[in-house]
Structure 1
Amino acid sequence: MAEMAPLDADMFWRSRLGATDQFALYCFAAQGDRRPDELLADLRLRAGGVPELGLRAAPAWRDLALPRWCPAPIVDDQLRHHDGPATWDECRAAVADLLTDSLDATEHTWRAHLFGPVAGAPRAAGPAWVLVLQVSHALADGRGVAALARTLLGPGGEPEPTSGRPVAGDRPGVPALAAGVLGMPLRLAAGLALGTAGWRRADDTPAPPTMAATTLNRVAGRRRRIDVRVVEADALRIGTATVTVSVLARLAEVLGPYLGIADDALTVELTVGRAAHGRGRNNFHNVSVRLHPHLDRIDRARMIDAQIRAARVREDAPGRRLERRAADITPAVLRSLAVRWTPTDVAPARVAGAAVVSAVHRGPADLTLGGGAVLFTAGFPALSSAHALSIGVLRLGATATLSLTTDPAAVDADCLVSLLVAATDG
């Protein structure tokens, strides 16, 4: 049995409290007369060759040890065809309904949803297939989900797993639980020592910016709406800035007017990837970024880029690395309690950002389904007790997609979309 990495275990425990699954959408041109059952059979065959897709989580008794990965055979219910939606708008509504239908990672950690053929999809000259991969966040982060999708939809050859870690066995036994209990004092002492060392090595860098909670910072209900804006990636660029920085600079022209904020108080949370290490499947952290809506686009993009670069330097500082090591050796039962005791039904008074932005480059546009070429990809980060709006920035080849996930009870998505169109047209 392979023990979960601590951050992956945190993701598993969070999934028991609310909707945290990731949903990666891929749209393909429909070719020939391929039937849905044939497409799903092809996907199941490829999935059988990917070890990562044959896993489930086995929690320890009372969380006295970290959960472990163990085998889970692929079953028919993991590959579903939804034959109701006939148009893109109907498909969007159906996908939105899936976002709070969470996986039970103790049974399976992924599911494939096939829609179509549908009419009117962006960039489609005719009918299109829409494939949505639902993946437990414990199994993979955004980059990991993109890699798994590529094993199922990528060109030729045998599927390449995202990890070579062997997996076998079942839930943790008595020796693992005993080791977890007996090791608590040593782990606590080591964690305290490392945490103290990290604190002493911390620099004088100011704390990340926060802002007063806005109308977008509410506890999300059960309903969801999704909106998708597909554009050429190069058309989004502001000067020499990256696509991610350029999108953030343009979002200042969306969130600023929507919230009535025209100064440096406007911030968002951006997920920033770390270098993969060890057995961990989740390698990212969130950075608070000021959007500077009062500046012109070029200066705004430069300021945003500087903040992201500074955040990467801070995250790689010796003190921060020691703090992460201290957190990693915290006893499993204490990590679990910390997750369970984090409020999920009360919005905070101050937040690190009005919305969460997740950006992932999903590689070249060489994916296919049933012989049809991929048209675009989209993604819908989960909402939380602090955010009723999340934004995915997904790239595939030369195309970029901005994906909005909202709680329709809290957010006027029609207004946001109109502002987004204006901000990305010019």
Structure 2
Amino acid sequence: MSAPDAQSYWISRQIPTDQFLLYCFDDAGAPLASIREQVLARAAVIADLRTRIREVPGGVDHPHWAPMVPDASLVRLHEGPTTWPACLRSVAALLTERLDPIESPWRLHLFGPVADAPEGGDTGAVVAVLQVAHALGDGRRASGIARELFGSAPATPARAIPAWRPGVALAAAVVRLPVQVARMVLRARPAHLAHRQRERDSAAGVIPPKPPSRPKLPTNAAPDHRRELRTVVVPAATLRGTGVTVTVGATTAISLALSRYLRAHGVGPGVGIAAEVTVAKPGKPLARNHFRNVTVDLHPEIEDVAARAGAIAESLRRGRLRADHPAGAAEDRATAVVPAPLLRHGIDHFDFTAVPDEVTGNTVVSSVDRGPADLVLGGGRVRFTAGFPALSQFMGLTHGVHGIGDRVTVSIATSPAVVPDVDEYERLLRDAIDELRAAAPLPQREGDS
């Protein structure tokens, strides 16, 4: 297992980090039990769904991926009938559950039949929620796994995964440990020099400066055990209507809704707000998790919707420019050879319950294009997809932006302890999207996604 994926696994043992990928399909009448058998037959030949985590004795190395045979316990049936709001409440209740990747790094939840789901009129739906441990993959990779699971073409048979031999893994780790220490020392200096170069480039204006920390706002409060979810499904063209990309369009709508919500709850108009936006790292992925977060200024001071969208696009471009500096890759190369005991020691002794005095963002926006709308489940075609980024001790409101075909879902994940009137916030978001639709077009900004 790579260092970033091992970090994801160890962090998941401290706080919930599982991903929940929701897909809504037309109900073609197949019983959920029959759909489960079809899903398991596909999972049996998909490499990422036939693997689980095994720890090396003594923790002297990163965990390993070992073979697993998917069984019926990995597909939970939530048999209806039910309604779309009730289905979302059931999904929300799952968000505080944690997978044990030693048993399995994934689980599928099937809900149906579901009435009143978006994009279906009077037609019923079946909802599939793929729960994935973050160690198994980031948002893009997890979406690829779902595409294999729900694809209409036959799944490509996976290569056999070597059997788990803990003694062999332990012996190999002991032999490799001195080499890792030497490589860590060798890579530390280039990483340090690259870091210094980034500081010089920042001071010289070659790249943007590091974003400043910001005061906490009401959305930076800790959630309790409850979760609330909302979804807004729109044509992708609605979010591109300002001439920018779906990610920028959705972030602009979130900016409008969030700034208005915060003002209604006592946050002055002069207070700035920002979002942590997930972006892919450049280059070929060397780990299942290949992304960074960049801070994007949401520019609540700009009243004109088109002008705000342009400023947000520029802030995202600048955040990417800084994130793509070679220093980031040098740091990743250094981290990749840190011996597992040192890496795990740092995670085990980090206080995940601590709340900082200042934050880098006041909400999260995670955006993933999940490809063409050619997925099928139980004979029904996919309507839309959604996702719900995890909450943390100082991030009580997150947003997903997930597209499939020509439909995009902007989702809200929060807790009543943070946003007690989530229906009002959803109304503000819908109104903001309507404003975006009516805004004057903007020129496309290079580097947006």
> Normalization by structure 2: what TM-score?
0.89
* 1:114 pairs with 2:91: no
- CA displacement at 1:370 relative to structure 2: 1.3
Is 2:410 the partner of 1:397?
A: no
The answer to whether the 8 A contact 2:62-2:340 is kept is yes
What residue identity is the alignment partner of 1:169?
W
For 2:300 and 2:413, how far apart are their aligned partners in 1?
22
2:62 alignment counterpart? 66
Letter in structure 2 aligned against 1:17: Q
2-side partners of 1:278 and 1:293: how far apart? 35
The aligned residue for residue 149 of structure 2 is 152
1:199-248: per-residue Cα shift (whole Å, max 9, x none)? 23212241123311111112232221111111111112242100100111
1:240 to 240, 243, 246: 243
Does residue 277 of structure 2 align to residue 270 of structure 1? yes
Question: What residue in structure 2 maps to residue 81 of structure 1?
Answer: 77
> Conserved in 2, the CA contact under 8 Å of 1:264 and 1:292?
no
| 1:187 shift after superposition | 3.9
Taking only the aligned residue pairs, the percentage that are identical comes to 37
Moved more, 283-292 or 117-126: 117-126
Residue in 1 aligned with 2:215?
212
Partner letter of residue 336 of structure 2? Answer: D
Identify the range of structure 1 (335-344 vs 96-105) with the bigger mean alpha-carbon deviation. Answer: 335-344
Q: Secondary structure at the match of 2:382?
A: strand
Could you tell me which amino acid in structure 2 is paired with residue 19 of structure 1?
Answer: P
**Alignment match, 2:290:** 283
Count of residue pairs brought into register by the alignment: 420
Indicate the residue corresponding to 2:433 in structure 1: 424
Kept after mapping to 2: 8 A contact 1:70/1:170: no
| TM superposition shift of 1:320 | 2.5
CA contact (8 A) 1:209 1:290 kept: no
| 1:167/1:275 CA distance change after superposition, 3 Å | farther
Paired residue for 2:51? 55
What 5-or-longer segments of structure 1 have no aligned partner? none
Q: Is the 8 A contact 1:210 1:351 kept in 2?
A: yes
In the alignment, is residue 293 of structure 1 matched against residue 293 of structure 2?
no
Structure-2 residue corresponding to 1:92: 88
Cα displacement string for residues 132-156 of structure 1 (whole angstroms, at most 9, x for unaligned residues) = 0011110011111111111111122
| Offset of residue 276 of structure 1 | 5.7
Deviations 1:96-155 (A, max 9, x none): 111111110011011110001011111123211001001111001111111111111112
User: What is aligned with 2:358?
Assistant: 350
Q: CA RMSD in A?
A: 1.9
- State how far apart, in whole Å, the 2-side matches of 1:167 and 1:213 are: 48
User: Could you tell me which residue of structure 1 aligns to residue 119 of structure 2?
Assistant: 123
Aligned AA (2:425): L
Provide closer, same or farther for how the CA distance between residues 279 and 310 of structure 1 changes in structure 2, counting only shifts above 3 A: same
- Which of 179, 186, 191 is the equivalent residue of 1:190? 186
Q: Secondary structure at the match of 2:218?
A: coil
Task: Choose which of 252, 255, 269 in structure 2 pairs with 1:252.
Answer: 255
Q: Report the CA distance shift for 1:165/1:331 in structure 2 as closer, same or farther (over 3 A).
A: farther
2:229 pairs with 1:226: yes
**Structure 1 residues 254, 237: closer, same or farther in 2, change over 3 A?**
same
Larger deviation, residues 415-424 vs 285-294: 415-424
Contact 1:118 / 1:128 at 8 angstroms: preserved in 2? yes
TM-score, structure 1 length as denominator? 0.93
Change (3 A) 1:317 1:50: same
CA distance in 1, matches of 2:84, 2:96: 20
How far off its partner does 1:184 sit?
Answer: 5.3
Q: Distance in 2 between matches of 1:313 and 1:79?
A: 42
Q: Which amino acid aligns with 1:149?
A: A
Greater CA drift, 78-87 or 399-408? 78-87
Q: Which amino acid aligns with 1:315?
A: A
Contact 1:22 1:136 in 2 (8 A): yes
Query: In the aligned structure 1, how far is the partner of 2:14 from the partner of 2:226?
Result: 17
2 CA distance for matches of 1:30 and 1:401? 20
1:160 to 1:211, Cα distance in 2 relative to 1, 3 A: farther
Residue 19 of structure 1 pairs with residue 16 of structure 2? yes
With 152-161 and 333-342 compared, the bigger mean Cα shift is at: 152-161
